Amino acid sequence: MAKKKRSSDLNVLASQIVTEATQEPQEQLQALAKEKNPAAVALGRLGGLKGGPARAKKLSSKKMKAIAQKAAKVRWAKRS
C-alpha cells in the first residue's frame, strides 16, 4: 500500500484517519467484485436467451425493420 501524505490541518487529518480505519482494503473489494453467483449468472443467461426471440415474435415486421435501420445508422455513424 502506498504511503499518503498526511495533512497538517487537524480536521483533515482526523477525517483521513477515520476513512482509512473504516474502509476495506481495495484488494478485498476487487476480489468480491470479480466473484459472481453461478445461480444468478444462469438465471440472467436464461432470461437473455428467452427475451430476444420472444421480443422478435411480438414485433411486427415493420417495427423490426425500423429498429434494424436505426441500429445500422448508429453503427455507421460511429465509423465516420
3-state secondary structure of 39: helix
Per-residue model confidence as pLDDT tens digits over 6-53: 777 888 888 888 878 887 666 666 666 677 788 888 888 888 888 888
49 domain-assigned: yes
47 domain-assigned: yes
69 domain-assigned: yes
23 domain-assigned: no
2 domain-assigned: no
Structural domain including 49 reads: 38-79
Q: How far apart are CA 62 and CA 21, in angstroms?
A: 60
Cell of 74: 448508429
Neighbours of 45 (CB within 10 A): 10
Number of structural domains the chain divides into:
1
17 domain-assigned: no
Question: What count of residues does the chain have?
Answer: 80
CB-based contact 67:59 (threshold 8 Å): yes
pTM of the predicted model as reported, rounded to 2 decimal places = 0.39
Q: How far apart are CA 47 and CA 42, in angstroms?
A: 9
